Amino acid sequence: MTSTIDFTDLSAKHTSDETKKRLKQRYWAEVRLKAYGMLAIAFAGAALLLLTSTIVTKTTSVVYEYYVTLEAQIEVSDRDQERLADPNPRLRANLRRVVGASLQETVPGEVGRAEQRALAGLVSGEAGLELGDLVKADPSLIGQTISFDALLDDNTQLYLKGSYGRPETINSSGTLTLTPVEGEDGVVEAKVGPSALTEVFEALRDQRLTEAQRARAEQRRQQNAVEVWEQRLLDAETEEERSELESRLEASRFQRDAAASKADGLMQQATVRREITFEMGNRDPSLFLRAGEGWIKATAVAREYVRGEFFEPIEGASFPEGEWSALMMMSPEIERPIDDRQVVWLEDFSDRGLIVEKFNSRILTVSDSASAELAGIWGALVGSFWTMMVTFLLAFPLGVMASIYLEEFAPKNRTTDLIEVNINNLAAVPSIVFGLLGLAIFVAGIDVHIFGYEIQIGGFLPRSSPLAGGAVLALMTLPTIIIAGRASIRAVPPSIRDAALGLGASKLQTATHHVLPLAMPGILTGSIIGMAQALGETAPLLLVGMNSFIQEPPGDPLSPGNVLPTLIYQWNSNSERLFDDKTAAAISVLLIFLVIMNALAVLLRKRFERRW
Amino acid sequence: MTETDMQNATATETESQNASGLSDISPVRSAEQIAERDIKVRCHEVDVFYGTSQAIKKVSMDIEDKAVTAFIGPSGCGKSTFLRCINRMNDTIDICRVDGTIELDGEDIYDQEIDPVQLRARVGMVFQKPNPFPKSIYENVSYGPKIHGLAATKADLDGIVEASLKRAALWDEVKDRLDSPGTGLSGGQQQRLCIARAVATAPEVLLMDEPCSALDPIATAQVEELIDELRQSYSVVIVTHSMQQAARVSQKTAFFHLGNMLEYDETGKIFTAPSHEKTQQYITGRFG
């Protein structure tokens, strides 16, 4: 080399401006990286917060369930008498007639035949059975009148929680004067203060505007159709075709005109400022007038006037301001499962303090049911318990033995390398594949034809059983346990093995006396994490049929059962709304178990962590 | 349990002549006695291969009973490898292959008939780094006697533990806390615990692979004193990097260089009048 490097020059570069600039860039890059990291963490944290808060809010809504307190006079038919006398506790008597009768006693007015169904529909079918249980336990109650809390139906409970909205008091100014309408029973006209109904008017006008817009849109659609048919008619060639198109054109024209006139009518109602009477249908918000213990449901509203029908009779004809109230419920009757009649009953119960909130232990203690208010997770919990037991008993010993063999005894050659690679890959196989494998081998079995003989391989586990599910999950968990086991066995320092071997311990003694006890906390940690994964697993269990509708907890691993995740899956796809909240509750329970298991794993790791 | 019981336990296990040496606490022997020492381990043309590379080349040496033999030499010269051949610890390394013969009391230890596990009960080993089991002191010492069935009763076992800890000069320090973990002791104590653990199996030969390299000077002195005492009853082989240590504790010294044993003689002679030039250079610190 001819050129020489002057290191003094190079050293001078450390203090040059260029270096300072580079330093600044470096700092800036660090700041940027930190900011990205913090952003990512904030994002993840927000997502987690959103998830947990949603689940917790939904769960809290099923912490309580609602009952209505009834004065029930226990009168039983001969058939019920027979059932009540039967010693078999599984044979339950359904005293729904007693419940129905006490409900009718509880509401103030007369209940017409048609309304009886709606009234009985407020309470759950379980109420009659629970009353039956009560009487069965104490037959001396027959003939007496007792106070009984009847479980409410799922929709009723949702209504009381406010899921469909509740009637809200609006401006109730002026004096309420009632005038019965001649010749029409139960129909009444009411006069109220001049500004009392403004809110209702606005709501009804909005409603009509919206409806009118919808009608206009329909009108435009039909107009389009009309134009299309007209065009086609011009192009039509055969007589047959023509007549077909003409009839269609006629229909479209008719619908267009109907929509147009509807829109016109509605627009007129909505825009006329004075002296208009709105007829209220089931698509409109509901308006109630309340005085004393009575209720009126409005059927038409004009300024200062309301025409309506008595839902509960009102004593008296004139009420000064403050002694009556107007209530409006924004959600139209057609959009909620609780009709106006039921709303009035429930509000009445509520005001009289008959609605009781009780802690919902049912969800934890009973199994699945078709009725949302009666469904619980007990059966799934038991199923999960059996499944986990089977998984643990299969996967843990196998996993520990496999890892001990691979780490301590197996020669290091191509075969063991291949096995290792395969085990690592198995841990990454989608769980549903294990489900298919389990279904094919454990549940269905494979028929093999050899030399004319037909041999069935597998197919020895009953479908839907925790045994089958547990076996499938064991397949899935096995690689996790083996990997964790091998890692913790490898982490035991070789000096311990040397010490034991140097004392004349055999390989087996070294492994079982020294290596395994030291590796055990690590293996257990890995196993618990694997089990937690298995506890939350759904897909493979769906395939072996653990998503059946099961109303009894499985008594043993061979009876059909389901597990928490599959129950959640089933509930989530159910259309009844209360199942939504119950799904969240089941998810909470599952999450609590997962958190406990993971905490246990962390605790174990911390407790037995060794530094060599 | 007394030391006599301990002898019985040793005698039933090995029935070797040096079992009685446990009570032989005579002071330093005279030069004539040294010259009359028996041969305990006889090595003949030992080759060790790791895969294709040869780590030990045709080493032949006779290791004497009731004496300390030191292996010295620069790093990588094969002295540890050779040491591990004597209790077949090299068997645990897959690619390691040993040729030649090593005889313990005239018996070829690489014979098909010999069980390496049983051999290691007769040839104990102490490692470079103190490696007590993460168990109690008592369990550490009693482990060997337990797996080899040296003690019939709990009392016997207690006796063996006490005698072994006394031999390792650790008894007074730990007698009140035999149940506390062995890993909680200081480095020097841990190493003496490992020696006690090795002694408890009543071996005939004790191999020590740089036993003091992880210890401070005070602990080293204690362990060296201990080695000198153990010499009364065992054939001790020690690998060391410290020439002073070799000079202090050993009666015979072997100098290894690049897998060859260049020189093997009385320690006094090696350190005063080495016959090989490399030995001369090594002990005077000119290389290594």
A70 contacts: CB under 8 Å, gap ≥ 6: A99, A102, A103, A105, A106, A147, A148, A149, A150, A354
| d(C-alpha B187, C-alpha A213), whole Å | 90
Alpha helices per DSSP H over A492-538: 494-502, 507-509, 516-535
- The DSSP call for residue A410 is S
- B240 CA to chain A: closest CA distance, Å? 19
pLDDT band at A202 (very low <50, low <70, confident <90, very high): confident
pLDDT tens column, A448-481: 888 888 888 888 888 889 999 999 999 999 999 9
**Chain A interface, mutation test: which of B133, B164, B191, most A Cβ atoms within 10 Å?**
B133
CB of B194 within 8 Å of any CB in chain A?
yes
> What is the torsional sign of CA A476, A477, A482, A483?
positive
B288 contacts: CB under 8 Å, gap ≥ 6: B73, B74, B75, B281, B282
- Please return the burial class of A232, using the count of CB atoms within 10 Å of its CB with bins 0-12, 13-18 and 19+: middle
Distances (CA, A) of B36 to B30, B31, B65, B232: 10, 9, 10, 14
Q: What is the 3-state secondary structure (H, E, C) of chain B?
A: CCHHHHHHHHHHHHCCHHHHHHHCCCCCCCHHHHHCCCEEEEEEEEEEEECCEEEEEEEEEEEECCCEEEEECCCCCCHHHHHHHHCCHHHHCCCEEEEEEEEECCEECCCCCCCHHHHHHHEEEECCCCCCCCCEHHHHHHHHHHHHCCCCCHHHHHHHHHHHHHHCCCHHHHHHHCCCEHHHCCHHHHHHHHHHHHHHCCCCEEEEECCCCCCCHHHHHHHHHHHHHHCCCCEEEEECCCHHHHHHHCCEEEEEECCEEEEEEEHHHHHHCCCCHHHHHHHCCCCC
For residue A594, pLDDT over 80 is answered with yes
Cβ A498–B89 below 8 Å, yes or no? yes
CA-based nearest residue to A66, from A162, A168, A165, A169: A162
Q: What is residue B26's predicted lDDT score, i.e. its pLDDT?
A: 40
Q: What is residue A468's predicted lDDT score, i.e. its pLDDT?
A: 93
- Please return the burial class of B106, using the count of CB atoms within 10 Å of its CB with bins 0-12, 13-18 and 19+: exposed
Chain B residues within an 8 Å CB radius of A495: 127, 129, 131
Mean pLDDT, to the nearest integer, of A236-256?
Answer: 89
Distances (CA, A) of A395 to A288, A386, A531, A595, B226: 65, 14, 9, 21, 50
Mean pLDDT, to the nearest integer, of A158-187?
Answer: 86
pLDDT band at A1 (very low <50, low <70, confident <90, very high): low
Query: In this predicted complex, what is the ipTM?
Result: 0.82
- In chain A, the N- to C-terminal Cα span, in Å, equals 52
CB of B133 within 8 Å of any CB in chain A?
yes
Which among B94, B134, B201 has CB closest to A503?
A: B201
pLDDT band at A275 (very low <50, low <70, confident <90, very high): low
- The tokens describing A510, both together, are 């070294």
CA-based nearest residue to B201, from A498, A503, A509: A503
Which among A496, A504, A610 has CB closest to B117?
A: A504
Q: What is residue A377's predicted lDDT score, i.e. its pLDDT?
A: 93
Angle value at C-alpha A22, between A21 and A25, nearest 5 degrees: 90
Distances (CA, A) of B192 to A429, B123, B188, B201: 51, 17, 6, 15
pLDDT tens column, B106-146: 888 888 888 888 899 899 999 988 999 999 999 999 999 99
Q: What is residue B15's predicted lDDT score, i.e. its pLDDT?
A: 41
Q: What is residue B31's predicted lDDT score, i.e. its pLDDT?
A: 46
The answer to whether the beta carbons of residues B21 and B233 sit under 8 Å apart is yes
- A495 CA to chain B: closest CA distance, Å? 6
Cβ A501–B120 below 8 Å, yes or no? yes
Strands A294-302 and A278-279: antiparallel
Of A1-15, A64-78, A124-138, A512-526, the one with minimum mean pLDDT is: A1-15
pLDDT band at A274 (very low <50, low <70, confident <90, very high): low
Distances (CA, A) of A16 to A26, A30, A137, A171: 16, 22, 96, 79
Q: Angle formed by the axes of helices A17-60 and A577-608, to 10°?
A: 130
Which among A502, A505, A610 has CB closest to B147?
A: A505
Which among A411, A496, A509 has CB closest to B133?
A: A496
Mean pLDDT, to the nearest integer, of B28-33?
Answer: 44
Cβ A503–B133 below 8 Å, yes or no? no
Longest pairwise C-alpha distance within chain B: 56
Which among A495, A502, A610 has CB closest to B89?
A: A502
Which among A411, A502, A514 has CB closest to B120?
A: A502
| d(C-alpha B203, C-alpha B19), whole Å | 9
Count of Cβ atoms closer than 10 Å to residue A263 Cβ: 19
Which among A497, A504, A514 has CB closest to B121?
A: A504
- The tokens describing A73, both together, are 């006079």
- Please return the burial class of A440, using the count of CB atoms within 10 Å of its CB with bins 0-12, 13-18 and 19+: middle
CA-based nearest residue to B163, from B127, B199, B130: B199
Nearest residue on chain B to A408, alpha-carbon basis:
B92
Mean pLDDT, to the nearest integer, of B206-215?
Answer: 88
- B93 CA to chain A: closest CA distance, Å? 11
- A511 CA to chain B: closest CA distance, Å? 13
Q: What is residue B22's predicted lDDT score, i.e. its pLDDT?
A: 39
Cβ B148–A504 below 8 Å, yes or no? yes
Q: What is residue A136's predicted lDDT score, i.e. its pLDDT?
A: 87
- The tokens describing B255, both together, are 């100098």
Cβ A411–B94 below 8 Å, yes or no? yes
| d(C-alpha A455, C-alpha A450), whole Å | 7
How many Cα atoms occupy the beta-carbon half-sphere of B231 within 13 Å? 26
Q: Please, what is the average pLDDT of chain B?
A: 83
B9 contacts: CB under 8 Å, gap ≥ 6: B145, B150, B151, B156, B160, B202
Cβ B133–A500 below 8 Å, yes or no? yes
Cβ B94–A412 below 8 Å, yes or no? yes
The answer to whether the beta carbons of residues A325 and A278 sit under 8 Å apart is no
Nearest residue on chain B to A413, alpha-carbon basis:
B94
Mean pLDDT, to the nearest integer, of A307-326?
Answer: 86
CB pairs under 8 A between A and B: 62
For residue B12, pLDDT over 50 is answered with no
Which among B94, B131, B147 has CB closest to A495?
A: B131
**Chain B interface, mutation test: which of A492, A503, A514, A520, most B Cβ atoms within 10 Å?**
A503
Chain A residues at the B interface, defined by Cβ less than 8 Å, are: 411-412, 493, 495-506, 509, 513-514, 518, 610
Q: What is residue A273's predicted lDDT score, i.e. its pLDDT?
A: 64
Cβ A499–B131 below 8 Å, yes or no? yes
Higher pLDDT, A404 or B16: A404
Q: What is residue A492's predicted lDDT score, i.e. its pLDDT?
A: 92
